[in-house]
A and B are shown apart, each in its own frame.
Chain A
Amino acid sequence: MKRTVPLLIAACCGIVLIITAFVPSLVSWGETATVWFDILAAIAFVLGGGNLIKIHLKKVSDRNAGWAYSMITIVTFLFTLFIGMVKWGVPPAEDQEYFGDTFASVSVDELPESLSFTEPVKLSGIYDRDNLPDSVKRQLSWEQNEEGITSLSFRGWMQEGQKEELLEIHQNLQWQAAVELLAEKSSVPESLQGKIAYYANHQAISVTGVLTEDLQEQLLALGGTPAWIDAVSMLAEKSNQQSTLELRDIPPALQIPEESAESLKLQGNTIALTGPLTPAMSKELLDVFPRVRPMSTDSINKYVAQLENMEGGLTNDPDGSDQKSVLTAMLGMSWNADQLIVLLDEAGKSLPIKKTACELLAEKQSGVHELKTMKPASGPDVVLNEEQQSFLREKVVDPDYNLNNLGVDLKEKGTWIASQESALQKFLGQASTIGARNKLICLSLTNDGGGLSDEQFAFLLAPYRAEHLWNQQVHGLLVMSHEVKYPWSGAYLVSGSPFWFTYEYAFKPLTATMFSLLAFYVASAAFRAFRAKNFEAFLLLGTAFIILLGRTFAGEWLSSLVPDYLAALRVENITSFVMTVVNTAGNRAIMIGISLGIVSTSLKILLGVDRTYLGSGED
């Protein structure tokens, strides 16, 4: 039995795979067999590891020659296995941690009745519950009779992603209109929007930031089930926890945003936070450093001259290291006023609006045959007038002008709409900071053998140092105030973790070294063993010379001495001929021979004639 079962597995899988290769309609059988093969391959890794430990432990216990190497193998194997599997020192994944949110468990069934929403509908046709996306299966249900679905029900608040997935599963307007109505009914109340959400897949309710007393009362007013009351109380407790952090080198421009003033307080060098630090608060705290803006030619020249006058100066060799040109180019690479004007004009365009499914269904029911999915824009396009454009061009290069006031000032000079304001803020927010720009400048100026003096480094990198220090402190506050939900969600490859360290500083150099040893041994073999003892060996060595030369610049240089009418004798052409004709012919012959051998061996294995892969059977 011990030997029969593997025999049967090998035979069945092999025969199925052969059949599926010739019968296209049975491809799915082959996929299934291959997936099982993959599972076995993964298990084989585990068995291989176990066998490795067994062999080396035996060697150590018997004190055979080389037992010390076996001990090293065992220790490093177990260490790598441990730090990889438990993800020792790996922080949780930021995109799975819901930073800024506090969760409290409450299942779908425990939600209060007021969070059950029903929308009467008339959906004729066949709708299969198995087709529902996983994200809504727990929450969505419907009543059905012979004519079709009569009502849709949803427990909890529907999220935008859930609505999109529901809209996509059936492309008919009736279904989509029904989903839109249900989504509108089951959306988070306006007073709670942006703060409260329900995640059915987590079976939890969440609050972003602090759960204030007002919000708590609103939530408790929704229902009085014990589970709901407990969840809200837990949310209130967890989201009101205090964190404090001693700060160093507080940026001069730091101001606590108004909307965060209740939860974030700065007292001297200490920052006190109530509840978790949300990503929005974190972004506000980090956005305190000046950003890159267009520089006039005079400003650029002054900056370059300032750096040039420092110890070390700047190189100016067009054929070698030309730090002055590189610096001038990089300072001029910032965004410019024209780009901003184009962006603001684009943002001011009145775009057609996509009709909702309800609107399309209403049109269809009123007799419209050709339905158009888009409706015309609501108003005219808004572009910057001449006064706004010249004001913008003047102020963006003025280092004393605060760009945060640009929106307000442009509004005074002409039409200015909300989409333009938001596009402006997004654009300015995406501009690089001075520190980040200077860091890139440093890297570029020290490339290709160029150098900078300590004074120049200090001048360029001071803003970056301040930004980096502040970023670290804000990140520290973010992590400190956050309750980890998925401690093992981080990637084991994350930089700085023990696994990464072992890979970067042990595994990588060791494997590269092992492969590099080949070069030395081949060189030694070339001297000792490559002998032209007969004609075939002479041919082989001659070909080796041609290929060795042809794969380097030496071959090309030698070929330059060969006239054009003898181009076929050029080293690179002979190399190409050898590889594409002679080598290909030889390899094809070998491959055909191997293939015939594979067919024969495979048949023997599948039919159970060759059982060497089962082992000796002595164990």
Chain B
Amino acid sequence: MGIAIIEKLAALDRRWIFLMMLLAVAIPILLKMEFPEKPSQLARDVFDEIEQLKPGDKVLMAFDYDPSSEGELGPMATSFILHCANKELKMYFLTLFPVGPQMIEEGISRVILTDFPDLVYGEDYVNLGYKPGYEGVIKVIMTDLRELYTTDARGQNIDQIPMCKGVESIQDMKLIINVSAGYPGCKEWVQYGSTAYPDVKLVAGVTGVQAPYMYPYVPKQLKGLLGAIKGAAEYETLVNEKYVEGKPKPEYREGVRRMGPQLIAHLLMIFLILAGNVLFFLQKRIQRL
């Protein structure tokens, strides 16, 4: 009887596992389970790097992600815009992903148009849009922005945009904030941006898959790194504590909100690994007997 149960469990239809994962993600969302976040040193480094900028400083926001990675990167992109808007920094948005312009427009609508209606397009923020060419774009704009960007994403001549006057290249930026989902992304900004031009500072938010590959660049080429939704939640906590009075809007709590399902899903993964190994060893023992 026991052997039959073990055999049955070992050959469990994967659809039961899918169902477990579905419930592990859905239940925390439906029950609005949220947990406090303790920011790590890396998140603090990102926060401090932006915090030490002065009002009017130029910041490049390179949002290199698409809807597939919005789950991990959307909250940190929102928090970056919120932080920069509160610091009254001049935000220059661009992207190397074809679907990136939509991500930028969503971030602008979610944060700037809603909570910072006094910010003027062209004077406080500008969307330079998408350019094909992967790392080639980075290589060119690090020395000459107008070589590739002659208009913004809306077709307006860049020379007629007040905040673009006098900006010759990305070296004029005080900081590059990169939100990266893959290629082209953080690695390319490190290779062709902060490594080739050490005076240019770079902070990044990346997916969980990419984060381990970026650690070697911290802290020299990358001043700070946010890894996956955990990093987003930590950074979000720091920004909300400093700049948001009372309870933040749901849009500014997405990172923390998504940590609830992450916790339960991780516990489920641990359970599945343990269960799988226990069943494996039990089967081996049965075979030996």
Contacts and interface: CB of A to CB of B under 8 A. Distances in A.
Given A38-B133, A520-B21, A523-B18, A448 B247 contact: yes
A527 B272 contact: yes
A31 B147 contact: yes
B255 to A, nearest CB: 13
Most chain B CB neighbours (cut-off 10 Å) among A512, A549, A551, A556: A551
A588 B20 CA distance: 37
A527 B12 contact: yes
B210 to A, nearest CB: 11
Interface stretch (B78-86, B138-146, B172-180): B138-146
B216 A587 contact: yes
A34 B270 contact: no
B249 interface: yes
A554 B263 contact: yes
B27 interface: no
Contacts of B134: 41
A379 B162 CA distance: 32
Contacts of A545: 270, 273
Interface residues on B, range: 35 or more
Interface string A493-532: 1000000000100011001101110011011101111111
A366 interface: no
Contact of B71 (A515, A556, A572): A515
Interface of B: 12, 14, 17-18, 20-22, 25, 35-38, 40-41, 66-71, 99, 101-102, 105, 131-134, 136-137, 139-140, 143-144, 147-148, 153-156, 211-213, 215-216, 218, 228, 230, 247, 249-250, 259, 262-263, 265-270, 272-273, 275-277, 280
Interface stretch (A208-216, A250-258, A409-417, A578-586): A578-586
Nearest to A591: B216
Contacts, number: 154
**Interface residues of B: mostly helix, strand, loop or mixed?**
helix
A511 B68 contact: yes
Given A41-B132, A493-B105, A576-B41, A519 B143 contact: no
B249 A583 contact: no
Interface residues on A, range: 35 or more
A514 B70 CA distance: 12
Nearest to B209: A518
B18 A493 contact: no
A532 B215 contact: no
Interface of A: 27, 30-31, 34-35, 37-38, 41-42, 45, 93, 95-96, 447-448, 489, 491, 493, 503, 507-508, 511-512, 514-516, 519-520, 522-524, 526-532, 541, 544-545, 548-549, 551-554, 556, 572, 576, 579-580, 583-584, 587-588, 591
Nearest to A556: B38
23 contacts: A27-B143, A30-B139, A31-B140, A37-B136, A95-B154, A491-B155, A503-B99, A512-B71, A519-B265, A523-B269, A523-B272, A524-B17, A527-B272, A528-B14, A528-B276, A532-B277, A544-B273, A551-B262, A553-B37, A554-B263, A583-B212, A583-B215, A587-B215
Most chain B CB neighbours (cut-off 10 Å) among A95, A527, A529: A527
Contacts of B259: 552-553
A516 B68 CA distance: 8
Contact of B218 (A489, A514, A552, A580): A580
B132 A45 contact: yes
A529 B153 CA distance: 47
Contact of A523 (B20, B137, B230): B20
A554 B17 contact: no
B240 to A, nearest CB: 15
Given A493-B101, A503-B102, A520-B21, A541 B273 contact: yes
Contacts of B266: 548-549, 551-552, 554
A404 to B, nearest CB: 24
Contact of A553 (B211, B263, B269): B263
A31 B143 contact: yes
